[in-house]
Amino acid sequence: MAMINKFPRCKKLHSAFVLCYRNMSLNLKTDKAFVDGKWISASSGKTYEVLNPATGQVLGSVPDMDQDDVRDAIKAANTAFKSWKNTLPKERSVIMKKWYDLSLNYKKELATLLTEENGKPLAEAEGEILYGSGFLEWFGEECRRTYGDVVPSPVQSKRTLVIKQPIGVAGMITPWNFPNAMVTRKAGAAIAAGCTVVLRPAEDTPFSALALCKLAEEAGLPPGVLNVVTSDRGNAGPIGKELCENPLVSKISFTGSTAVGKLLLSQSADTVKKVSLELGGNAPFIVFDSADLQKAVNGLLACKFRNAGQTCVCANRVLVQEGIYAKFVHALALAIESTLKTGNGLEPGVNQGPLINSRAVEKVDGLVKDAVACGAKVIVGGKNAAIGGNFYEPTLLSDVTVDMRVVQEEIFGPVAAIVKFKTEAEAIEIANNTTAGLASYFFTTDIAQAWRVSEKLQYGLVGVNEGIVSAVESTFGGWKESGLGSEGGKYGLDEYLVRKNICYGGITS
């Protein structure tokens, strides 16, 4: 435990830590960035305001950092890596589990902060905190199982083994729609693997990432292992470019749009970085005639309207077989009208929050208007919510065709666009006819059909009679232009490890 002895807060046993910190009180909201274990301002002194998307009110300000700031953070991470990579997995595990315990202890505070800056309903935010905390626990356990191999030698005088070692400094860019879980899923894996991190959270939701830094600091994470630099949209490009091109950074992990992912991939080419990308989706949600109608409706409600439709795995194209089409549209309309309540996520009973900003509202409304102009019918919703601001009504469109923009583009809003199909083969063709390949869903009670369709869908995630498929324990990653690599599960650590072949010679029998 030599490395832990260098950091006094790491010495206590896990159980004693929980008792000691259970009643502590931390102010998780801060107006500073976190670099090399210090809470700092931008070198330029510039800041920017973060708005509550539900009210439009200013939540606070954070540093508007630039390339010079991120270079300093990279240097700090590189220095910290020289010692952190040598810690034992068991030592890292102790810290990760303390971080996990703190996250659970501060679940309500983290969730409230998340709702204020992201807008998602409080119950949903608490669900994200539990999900996000799970990655800290999971990777804290998995890091003790980064096994290598002893390889049978083809020569009597040699012995060969393969070991895994941390890759180095990891540069990360996380999205606004899961401002807690995307940090823990990425940084949790990297830190558990023995890497250090420089992370830029989305400009709309920096407070959740900084709150996690406070808890990591309390858990005993050494200075420089986790660094979070904040910036407004104007500095996002230069910071991303610096992370990709800086030779001290060995790994890039990004979740966001496909267009930005392609740019980051190209910028990482000159230094041949290992890159993980979790990009846009265009998820099909197929309802076959054999489906259990109510289960399919409930599955779509959960899949489509979670976070007001602002997730990369949301159902985007709802394909319903002609024999059940009319019944499904009717049942879904009733469910939307009776179960979805739009409003401020901190208010009781609300399960539909705002879109993240006015640009998102304009995009969603434009897609709906385009669909109507092309012949689609509005069954429910179809316009800005009466309460105004960034709220949009949960919307159901029927008579949608595959050539409409609402089918071709990722909606990222509370709009269910229903397309009719005739045969299983047609549904699979429509589902796979896209450059995206992240998530897909279908409902059927025909077991043979379930096997056939799940194997033919060209997606990294497939939900069979299930609208929520993500789990800490399982892999998450897209095919085609939806990304590279995998996050979560037993494969998540591998993204931050490199294999080394060690051959011992001169062995005589």
* Residues labelled as active-site residues: 278
Pairing of the two strands 249-255 and 315-321: unpaired
State the Cα–Cα distance between residues 393 and 376, nearest whole angstrom. 17
Q: Tell the residue number behind the tokens 């004693």, with chain if given.
A: 16
Q: Nearest CA to 466 among 450, 490, 481?
A: 450
State the Cα–Cα distance between residues 484 and 273, nearest whole angstrom. 13
Quote the tokens at residue 5: 């002895």
SS (H, E, C) 167-197: CCEEEEECCCCCCCHHHHHHHHHHHHHCCEE
Quote the tokens at residue 235: 């500095």
Sheet holding 33-35, edge to edge: 38-40, 33-35, 226-228, 196-200, 169-173, 249-255, 274-278, 483-484
Quote the tokens at residue 408: 């071709």
Q: Nearest CA to 187 among 203, 199, 175?
A: 199
Q: Nearest CA to 453 among 489, 429, 486?
A: 429
State the Cα–Cα distance between residues 365 and 70, nearest whole angstrom. 37
How many other CB atoms are found less than 10 A from the CB of residue 269? 11
How many other CB atoms are found less than 10 A from the CB of residue 4? 20
State the Cα–Cα distance between residues 319 and 112, nearest whole angstrom. 36
- 3-class secondary-structure state, position 4: helix
State the Cα–Cα distance between residues 81 and 166, nearest whole angstrom. 9
- 3-class secondary-structure state, position 364: helix
